[in-house]
Amino acid sequence: MSLLTKGTPLKLLYHYDLLCLHSYYGYQIIKQKLPQWLSKNSNITVDFIPVIGPKLFRCAHGHLFDGICAQKREYIVKELYLIAELYNLQKPKKIEWNSDLLLRRSVSALLFLTHLKRDVPTLYEPFLQEFWRNIWIEDFYITKVARIFKVGREMGIEFRVMDDLISKIEEPQNVKTLLSITNSLTLTDALGTPWIEFGTDENRFVFNEITRLEKIEHFIDHPEHLPPFREFPAIRKLKYAAPQSTFMEDYSS
């Protein structure tokens, strides 16, 4: 048992992918619950971190979504409907959990968000929310920079500002950051998105299922129950290592 006490600074690291409906639902659940959490401990910080979800899934399971049997995929879709009802979340026009999701190709949007998170944090969450709304509620594909540009203009951002932001999407620093965080999660046995960590540097509750966000309030009240953070060797071999490929292929195959 740790020596942490009530009121200890705690952080929630929420690794998400835009194409992951579980990530979108989890984000909304966190937003619902955050005021209550902060009323119990004002020293809680939340960090929403973009990653390449399909790469995490493939490294953990050895295949992508269609490698899961049809019955399991059907169960996951039914579960998503139940979660939406439980938390009163807006349901997408279409819920799917298969490799057709990869046709939406949101790499550019993830790189754009990576840039905003680092350099223009005031725009980060507004764009994150709009991208998710466009993808899941409006059923648009965020596959091209033209769509990102249109989203920004609809948000009231000036043409010249959007033009400057768009020009920075494929900067090496953005690509390096997105890949580095994703790769680091594969080496800590992350199962997919969302990948959620709550606690301190030394003690963390780590999980993948968004309904387990319900347990966070317990750890806020009893931080001494947070388990020790599992350490991993600096050099590891992946169980299902992907072959060398381009950045885009890393995302989709």
**Tens digit of each residue's pLDDT (9 = 90 or more) over 145-178:** 999 999 999 999 999 999 999 999 999 999 999 9
pLDDT at 248 exceeding the cut of 60:
no
User: How many other CB atoms are there within 10 angstroms of residue 92's CB atom?
Assistant: 19
Which CATH code for domain 10-252?
3.40.30.10
| pLDDT at residue 242, rounded to an integer | 53
Burial class (CB in 10 A: 0-12, 13-18, 19+), 115: buried
Residue 127, CB-side half-sphere exposure with 13 Å CA sphere:
29
Residues 100-112: pLDDT tens digits? 777 777 889 999 9
Kindly indicate the confidence band of residue 144, based on its pLDDT and cuts at 50, 70 and 90.
confident
* DSSP H helical ranges for the chain: 21-40, 53-61, 70-86, 107-119, 121-132, 145-154, 159-166, 172-186, 216-221, 247-252
Share of the chain above pLDDT 90, in %: 64
